[in-house]
Amino acid sequence: MDEQISFEKILEIYLTIKNLLEKKQQALIKKDLETLAVCDENLICAYNEVKNIYEQKDKFSLTREEKDELNKITAQIGQLQKNNEVLINHSLNVINKIFEGILNITSAKNADYNHLGKKNQENTLDISSITEEA
């Protein structure tokens, strides 16, 4: 493949990544798992395209202005990625708190039963001794 790689092609891929990360951010906020999965699949493909381009960097040369434009978009991509990581970590923390709550409730209920699965006797007042005194 002796074809030159154009700046427009590189720019298109970078803008695609930026748009996908923006879409992913909205999917994270809306908890839209289907859109999130599609974005991740498309991001993997786009990242692979970037990798392939840079493996052939001898087939393109960029002007200072083109490099500056790509660097600007790369910075935006980096910020979007950081924002998405924060959203993902927050979601994981929320999920962990929910699981902790469920486990605490389950553990409390399990404490009511012995190792044979029989309900433990509750510590209640012995009514027969109170009746005898009366």
Domains present along the chain, CATH in parentheses: 7-113 (1.20.58)
- Average pLDDT of the chain, as a whole number: 84
Question: Who wins on pLDDT, 39 or 4?
Answer: 39
User: Against a cut of 0.75, is the pTM above it?
Assistant: no
Question: 50-56: long-range contacts at Cβ-Cβ below 8 A with a sequence spacing of 24 or more?
Answer: 50/13, 50/14, 50/17, 53/5, 53/9, 53/10, 53/13, 56/1, 56/5
Q: Look at residue 115 in the predicted model and tell me its pLDDT.
A: 64
User: Residue 110: pLDDT above 70?
Assistant: no
Q: Look at residue 134 in the predicted model and tell me its pLDDT.
A: 52
